[in-house]
Structure 1
Amino acid sequence: MTENPARAERQTPENQQQQRNNRRIMDVNKTRRQLSIRMKSVMKFSGRSKDASNIKWQDPYNFLGLLNVLDQASVKSSKGALPSLEVVMGNESADLDSIISATAYAVLTNILVNKICIPLVQISKSELKLRQECVYALKESGLNQNNLIYLDDFEKVKKVLKKYDDSKIVLVDHNQLMSRWKDVEGKVYRIIDHHKDENLYSVTGEYRNIKLVGSACSLVTLEFKDLWTKATDDQKKTLAKLPKLLLAPILVDTISLDESKGKTKPEDLSAAKFLLEIISDYHGIQKARFDVSHLSDFDLLRKDYKQWEIASLQLGISAVTWDLNSWTEARTLEKVTESFDKYAERNKLDLLLVATLYDHPEYGFQRELVIWPVGEKIDRKQLVEKLKDSELRLVNNGKYKHNAFYNQENVVMSRKQIYPLVETILRSMDGWYILDQNNFSLSPVKAMECIGFAASQ
């Protein structure tokens, strides 16, 4: 049989290579079509061009959906089809200010700056229920908490950050990443925070917005104020959920913008004024924030909790929005104090502080402080004396016989100010030494006992 010349030509090495190339192109185009179908579930393209500058959100509040798209997409198929990717995150306590500032920053960036930004809430999804003020604020603003991204998807978020070379990290309501982000800390490029500057990361100029104001949400609001003012009607309609959402933590953290409390700064007033021109609804959020009676003692202590290591000591501070009188009457004093011991033991603490904040019907916002040393590492009497002599202005709560519960007359000082004060006191206390060979902190008497000397010698 005579071989078909045309068939023989198609089977040359050059033509075979061309066929393989054509198949690869078809596979890539198929992948692009599949990606496009998935992308349209959360995004849409405007205009005829499908370049990065024309990508718009289909649902700007479905962050989990977008994360899944970014995770599933291959780098080759998505290259040139996505704007610069940003991941914004608040601090690990994930309070109202942290969750809302990160969420609002992401939405405003996506709508007004034409970038893709996803916010991360740095707690597990199951822990959100402990933060009823957050649940309330999200619900009242029309946001579905199931569309947020939590630490449950931590590995997926980190994978996406590493996957896209131009990805960046934005920090709000803190300026120091936790150790879990160590391998991607080089991606930090913007900071919006109201805490002490730890002077980390090579972020300078307008990208390092750190001011000691009342709320991080105030800074986020002002960051986008000009763009928000110039937004189109469609953009403003999309952003309609945000003013109420942003206003909540600003009012909470500044104690209703009461300048006499010392927490309200001009930036807070300016941001609140801008948001109040759009909408104002606060009372329900505040009520939900202080409604914690349904939580167990354990949940109350872990709801808004931070822990630090000071040399070899472990210090934990729980912020609780319930007064000690109501708390102990509802649970009994014995059960409440027992919960302190159990919580301290669970977290291997040497000192637990419980900082309460509540709204008194006659006197307004009041604070209390529980000082709860555990074990023998800390001289309790000396610690209490130094704290009572500090600017906290602690006064014994006369209702309780033991020296643990105090009224805090300086209501301006929250946990953010209490921690550095306590750290300084612990480091300066007489009789507090570090035995490097044992990596253990003991008073001189205890140290002598450990090496065989009697206290009287």
Structure 2
Amino acid sequence: MNQFLKNCRSLLTQQVSRIVVIGNESCDLDSAVCSICLAFHLSKCPSLFNSFRNYHFIPVLNVSRKDLPLKTEVVFYLHENNISIRDLICNDEIELPEAMSNETKLILVDHHLSKYRQNVIGVIDHRPFDSYSNLNENVYKHIELVGSCASLVLRIIDQSNVLKKNKADYISTLNLLYGAIILDTFNLSKQADKARKTDIEMVQLVEQNLCLCDVTNRRQTLLEILIAKRSDVSSLNSLQILSKDSKTVVRKGLTVLIPGYPLLVQDYVKLEDAEINLQKFARMTGANVIVLIGMRMDLAKNDNANMRRDLGIINVNNQDLFQKILKELTSNNTVDLCLEKNNEIEFLGGAFYDQRNVVYTRKQILPLICDIMDKF
């Protein structure tokens, strides 16, 4: 794997035809390992994209080099699996064309909305398809509502039969994808209701191929370690926490930012300079409204009773959009967040709620906001 990554970095200075495999802008563990592992696999077995056999597959982390340390669980787990961080390519270290290009194509993993859509040849994603993506009709699409995109990448690898022929080269790949699935599904928790049949099958596939023992304890220990690393924001200030895991929705010249916290919103607002840094974040990103999504989980007991979620909606400079988002999130019957107003928080005139239905995450909230902005 490391030799592959080193070779990819060397290609940055060469005039070659390349296919960039890139995850979403939050660059969480799922996105990061999917981009690395899929690019590695396609470099060995490009059969899904036969017409591009002369291209080089290059994984790119969708984060700048300076912001990579903010992705604490990503950096930790890559180190744990002996992946060379210095050889990984970040999004500010490679030129990605927005206009049509014959030299550079893209495969999107863990998302399918991209400003590079004219160059997209493939999508592997685990969220509902958004017609706003405007992808070309001939784009390869593997979209399935599972808990982790890593499960879809792993199934592609398994279906190619390479694990039967050359398992030794895929040890790092299996471990990386395994961790992402365990984290994204909260260890296949029935209470969290994120894991699907494919996720369960792919976790078992890894355990069988790596001959893992005592898998019950192994899974739980891995989950606890990854959650602890993701939640460790002790070295980050209140601006860096906003940048750690944020999604952007842009429609008709309007922008909504949706940062996901590894802590509750009600705890974030108490941090030093939180108001100043949220306003700075809004200026940096051009946000009109910011929707803050917080979560805290008691690692001692992996069940819903010990998981808490909350959210806050901040109007930056568009009262109408703010009100529409507020109304939709508090009254939608299909995605009923079971919000209870938290009147104790006074922060930039925002509206704050405890979310009693902890099953719903940003993955379900994001389409609601997209729909609002499409109709705005």
Alignment-derived partner of residue 22 in structure 1 = none
Q: CA deviation at 1:227?
A: 3.6
Rate the CA distance shift 1:113–1:306 in 2: closer, same or farther, 3 A: closer
Distance 2:286 2:323 in 1: 21
Aligned residue for 2:234, secondary structure, equals coil
Alignment-derived partner of residue 375 in structure 1 = 317
Alignment-derived partner of residue 177 in structure 1 = 114
Specify the structure having the higher radius of gyration (Cα): 1
2:128 pairs with 189, 196, 203, which one?
196
Aligned residue for 1:86, secondary structure, equals strand
2:189 pairs with 258, 262, 266, which one?
258
Aligned residue for 2:307, secondary structure, equals strand
1:238 pairs with 137, 152, 169, which one?
169
Alignment-derived partner of residue 342 in structure 2 = 397
CA contact (8 A) 1:193 1:210 kept: yes
Rate the CA distance shift 1:224–1:291 in 2: closer, same or farther, 3 A: same
Rate the CA distance shift 1:424–1:102 in 2: closer, same or farther, 3 A: closer
Q: How many residues align?
A: 346
Q: CA deviation at 1:192?
A: 1.2
Are positions 1:288 and 2:229 aligned together?
Answer: yes
Aligned residue for 1:320, secondary structure, equals coil
Q: CA deviation at 1:195?
A: 2.2
Deviations 1:255-296 (A, max 9, x none): 221133232111111111112332554432221011112211
Deviations 1:103-125 (A, max 9, x none): 00112223445964211122211
Are positions 1:214 and 2:144 aligned together?
Answer: no
For 1:304, give the aligned amino acid: D
Deviations 1:172-203 (A, max 9, x none): 1122331xx36xx35x3332111222452233
Rate the CA distance shift 1:346–1:237 in 2: closer, same or farther, 3 A: same
Alignment-derived partner of residue 203 in structure 2 = 272
CA contact (8 A) 1:192 1:220 kept: yes
Aligned residue for 1:295, secondary structure, equals coil
Rate the CA distance shift 1:237–1:417 in 2: closer, same or farther, 3 A: same
Deviations 1:118-156 (A, max 9, x none): 11122211111110011011111110111111122322x
Q: CA deviation at 1:169?
A: 3.0
For 2:136, give the aligned amino acid: Y
Rate the CA distance shift 1:416–1:230 in 2: closer, same or farther, 3 A: closer
CA contact (8 A) 2:245 2:261 kept: yes
Q: CA deviation at 1:322?
A: 1.0
Alignment-derived partner of residue 279 in structure 2 = 341
Q: CA deviation at 1:394?
A: 1.0
Distance 1:64 1:385 in 2: 47
Unaligned segments of structure 1, at least 5 residues:
1-56, 76-83, 433-457
Alignment-derived partner of residue 137 in structure 1 = 77
Q: Calculate the TM-score normalised by the size of structure 2.
A: 0.80
Rate the CA distance shift 1:398–1:256 in 2: closer, same or farther, 3 A: farther
Alignment-derived partner of residue 179 in structure 2 = 248
CA contact (8 A) 2:289 2:322 kept: no
Q: Which stretch has the larger CA shift, 134-143 or 168-177?
A: 168-177
Alignment-derived partner of residue 351 in structure 1 = 289
For 1:215, give the aligned amino acid: S
CA contact (8 A) 1:63 1:149 kept: no
Q: Higher relative contact order by CA 8 Å / sep ≥ 6: 1 or 2?
A: 2
Q: Calculate the TM-score normalised by the size of structure 1.
A: 0.67
Q: CA deviation at 1:337?
A: 3.3
2:11 pairs with 54, 64, 67, which one?
67
Q: CA deviation at 1:342?
A: 3.0
For 2:9, give the aligned amino acid: G
Distance 2:108 2:325 in 1: 35
Q: CA deviation at 1:370?
A: 0.9
Distance 2:356 2:291 in 1: 16
Alignment-derived partner of residue 388 in structure 1 = 330
Are positions 1:95 and 2:95 aligned together?
Answer: no
Q: CA deviation at 1:101?
A: 0.3
Shift >6 Å, 4+ stretches: none
CA contact (8 A) 1:318 1:354 kept: yes
Rate the CA distance shift 1:307–1:381 in 2: closer, same or farther, 3 A: closer
Counting aligned pairs with the same residue, the percent is 26
Q: CA deviation at 1:373?
A: 1.0
CA contact (8 A) 1:112 1:231 kept: no
Rate the CA distance shift 1:58–1:379 in 2: closer, same or farther, 3 A: closer
Q: CA deviation at 1:252?
A: 1.9
Aligned residue for 1:341, secondary structure, equals helix
Q: CA deviation at 1:297?
A: 0.7
Distance 1:163 1:419 in 2: 33
Distance 2:346 2:287 in 1: 24
Superposed CA RMSD: 3.1
Rate the CA distance shift 1:58–1:315 in 2: closer, same or farther, 3 A: closer
